[in-house]
Structure 1
Amino acid sequence: MLTDMNNQVFFCDYYKQWVDVYKKGAIREATMSKYLMSQKWIKKLAPELKLSELTRTAYQKLLNDYAKEHERQTTLDFHHQLKGAILDAVDEGMLERDPTRKAIIKGKTPRAKKIKYLNQFELHTLIANLDIKEEANWDWFILLVAKTGMRFSEALAITPADFDFSRQTLSISKTWDYKGEGGFLPTKNKSSVRKIQIDWQIVVKFSELVKGLPDDKPIFVGKSKIYNSTVNDILTRHCKKCGISEISIHGLRHTHASLLLFAGVSIASVARRLGHASMTTTQKTYLHIIQELENKDVDLVMRTLSGL
């Protein structure tokens, strides 16, 4: 009887139930949204595929159909999410074999992604153009991200208590749930929990700004919902006014990292400051900059050896 019932279960329904049971409330909302998106794609691509019919060929066809509209890395993420549910189905005896074994991951050729960031002169021009008032506004926010390289959600979660002005440090230990209902959330990963050094200008300006503000309340979060696009629009207007490259708030994070790398700061130090899980992430993200620096190093080596 149980086998007969299993034969009638659609894979999209099984996956939906699996997400509800094993993932709901156990993972970050942003991650949960990816599982739900995968669920929609299964229903779109294979609405009548039964769990009992999930052979290696059927699974590969599902991956191939998904890959027609997505890049390889996105297809790989899709595969990993589906595989978690399928392996549980095997453990429960609902499938005899693992159909995901030896799956081939395909995908559209990724478009060349050029990271947008400002050079030192442009950043200096932008900061000089900011309207830093007595009370916190989004120009203060832009200044802080430019000087620290924080992620958008990390900067939103900063409270007065996170500053240690005597030691010139800023503690990053949480994020703000701006995509959901608001409130504090954990950081992206363990490496994202960090203390970073802040320069004396930030110390002077923010020590004045936070006077009288509640220690445990976010500096930049008010009563209304916050949208990433709102702050990006403000930054874009500043860029246009200054006649510099137009970038996003995330582009400020890239700007921060790029300037440090060009200044000779080690990849390891930049990775720690950005809260990257490993130096590999930093190296992949800023490969073009690292290659430029290596070319400069070659010139320096040659000049040094020529002078011997």
Structure 2
Amino acid sequence: MTQYVKRGKGWQARIYWRDPFGKRHTKSQAGFRTKKLAQVWAVETKSRLNQGIAVDKKISFVDYYNHWVDTYKRPKIAQSTLNRYRINGRVLKRCFGDISIKDVSRSAYQKFLNDYGKDHSPRTVRKLNTCIRSCVKSAILDDFLIKDFTQDVSIIGNENKNLDVDYLNLKEIRALLKETKSYLNWRYTSRFMIIAAIYTGMRKEELQALTWSDIDFTNQTININKAWRETKDEDETVEHFNNHRFKPTKSENSTRIIKVNPELLDCLDILRNHAKSNMVFMNEFGTLPTSNALNRKLKSLLATLNIHRKNFHFHSLRHSHVALLLANGIDIYVISRRLGHADVSITANTYAYLIDEYKDKTDNQIVNALSNL
């Protein structure tokens, strides 16, 4: 049912409907210059109702984002990722305030990205947009929106804000391996984790979570099927945290089996011969090396070698592993599978700077291949 009422110089439209449970609802809109415009609004609103869109639902963009994070993301993401989502929420609050999610236009969202991109790198803008796009798609499924206002927007960032990731060249990797292996003591496992990171490209939390059953010494493989929680959530009890240190890998594709070299297995065998726990890298104190401990040891080793890298940390060993594979002509698709990326585009985007560096070498390989036809 629809009513149209003349109010002063304008028109008001009011629609009535009942939900599947028989409850009566109403929604009105005033201020139309003509009755025709009021009728258009009523027809469009009824059409949305027939599509299952709850037109009476009202929530701000920021409130829905926070609801989405708490309901759909928080139960399955790491604390570090949750912290990043919270920061994104504050960014949205500064820009959109209490604006309803229904009132956010594509042009307004593009302007938001443009303004944000003035002080942030393209990669940072891209990650923010990916997060918000997932939120908006969820809002559509929850009947708060019809159209995706994040679709086909442009990602524009400040190239000067790009933070170059330091990695080691082949000579430096060899030197670091030699220095790290020069003193291997099963009681202190940080050196063993550094070696494993160079040889495998595994993430820190994947290495921390390794158990002896994950390593097949006969077939020379490592089964990466879980990760380790180093820090507890803000509202989590210590007891719950201690009993739930294992967590799923970063993504479904991160669960993988990789081939490893005999040199790594020889190093791990030292730990296996003195193992007092099922955890591969458990030290004599019954703990696993933390981020701080690993970075301190890594910086100490690099300082001994007189290698200075301002932005080099434990995760940079993953980048160095990619550099090592690219330098040896390993295909980017194979590298992507080894790293546990969802698809090769993630690898290409993340390590574009490395791929460009080895472009001349691959160009020569292409020329030589063509010349041999």
Q: How does 1:181-192 map to 2 (within 5 A)?
A: 181=241, 183-192=245-254
Q: Give TM-score, length-normalised by structure 1.
A: 0.80
Say whether 1:197 aligns with 2:259.
yes
- Alignment partner of 1:219 out of 262, 281, 284: 281
| C-alpha contact (below 8 Å) 2:62/2:92 kept by paired residues | yes
Which residue is equivalent to 2:270? 208
Find the aligned partners of 1:99 and 1:278 in 2 and give their Cα distance: 25
Which residue is equivalent to 1:288? 356
| C-alpha contact (below 8 Å) 1:132/1:140 kept by paired residues | yes
Give the match's secondary structure for 1:249.
coil
Find the aligned partners of 2:90 and 2:320 in 1 and give their Cα distance: 36
Q: CA deviation at 1:63?
A: 3.4
| C-alpha contact (below 8 Å) 1:6/1:94 kept by paired residues | no
Q: How does 1:2-17 map to 2 (within 5 A)?
A: 9-17=59-67
Say whether 1:124 aligns with 2:174.
yes
Find the aligned partners of 1:218 and 1:166 in 2 and give their Cα distance: 17
- Which has a greater percent of strand? 2
Which residue is equivalent to 1:272? 337
Which residue is equivalent to 2:218? 166
Say whether 1:156 aligns with 2:218.
no
Q: Give TM-score, length-normalised by structure 2.
A: 0.67
| C-alpha contact (below 8 Å) 2:122/2:162 kept by paired residues | no
Which residue is equivalent to 1:243? 306
| C-alpha contact (below 8 Å) 2:190/2:289 kept by paired residues | no
Find the aligned partners of 2:345 and 2:333 in 1 and give their Cα distance: 10
Q: CA deviation at 1:23?
A: 2.8
Q: CA deviation at 1:289?
A: 3.7
More off after superposition, 266-275 vs 148-157: 266-275
Give the match's secondary structure for 2:315.
helix
Find the aligned partners of 1:168 and 1:35 in 2 and give their Cα distance: 38
Find the aligned partners of 1:52 and 1:263 in 2 and give their Cα distance: 52
Which residue is equivalent to 1:33? 83
More off after superposition, 177-186 vs 86-95: 86-95
| C-alpha contact (below 8 Å) 2:253/2:342 kept by paired residues | yes
CA separation of 1:202/1:94 partners in 2, compared to 1, >3 Å: closer, same or farther?
A: closer
| C-alpha contact (below 8 Å) 1:136/1:209 kept by paired residues | no
| Corresponding letter in the other structure for 2:69 | V
* Cα deviation digits, residues 145-193 of structure 1 (max 9, x gap): 1122211221111112211112222211111122445712222233322
| C-alpha contact (below 8 Å) 2:272/2:280 kept by paired residues | no
Q: What is the root-mean-square deviation of aligned Cα atoms in Å?
A: 3.6
Q: How does 1:253-268 map to 2 (within 5 A)?
A: 253-268=318-333
- Which has a greater percent of helix? 1
Gapped regions of structure 1 (runs ≥ 5): none
Find the aligned partners of 1:253 and 1:92 in 2 and give their Cα distance: 39
Which residue is equivalent to 1:54? 104
Q: CA deviation at 1:114?
A: 4.1
| C-alpha contact (below 8 Å) 1:145/1:252 kept by paired residues | yes
| C-alpha contact (below 8 Å) 1:160/1:216 kept by paired residues | yes
| C-alpha contact (below 8 Å) 1:67/1:75 kept by paired residues | yes
CA separation of 1:92/1:171 partners in 2, compared to 1, >3 Å: closer, same or farther?
A: closer
Q: CA deviation at 1:77?
A: 3.6
Q: CA deviation at 1:56?
A: 4.3
| Corresponding letter in the other structure for 1:291 | K
Find the aligned partners of 1:96 and 1:192 in 2 and give their Cα distance: 33
Which residue is equivalent to 1:142? 194
Q: CA deviation at 1:8?
A: 7.9
User: What is the identity percentage for the equivalent residue pairs of Structure 1 and Structure 2?
Assistant: 27
* Cα deviation digits, residues 247-302 of structure 1 (max 9, x gap): 32222222222223222333333333222333334444131243032244267569
* Cα deviation digits, residues 126-163 of structure 1 (max 9, x gap): 22222211324211111111122211221111112211
Find the aligned partners of 1:46 and 1:84 in 2 and give their Cα distance: 18
Find the aligned partners of 1:266 and 1:61 in 2 and give their Cα distance: 39
Q: How does 1:73-84 map to 2 (within 5 A)?
A: 73-84=123-134
Q: Which has the higher contact order (CA 8 A, sep 6+)?
A: 1
The count of aligned residue pairs is 305
Find the aligned partners of 1:91 and 1:260 in 2 and give their Cα distance: 42
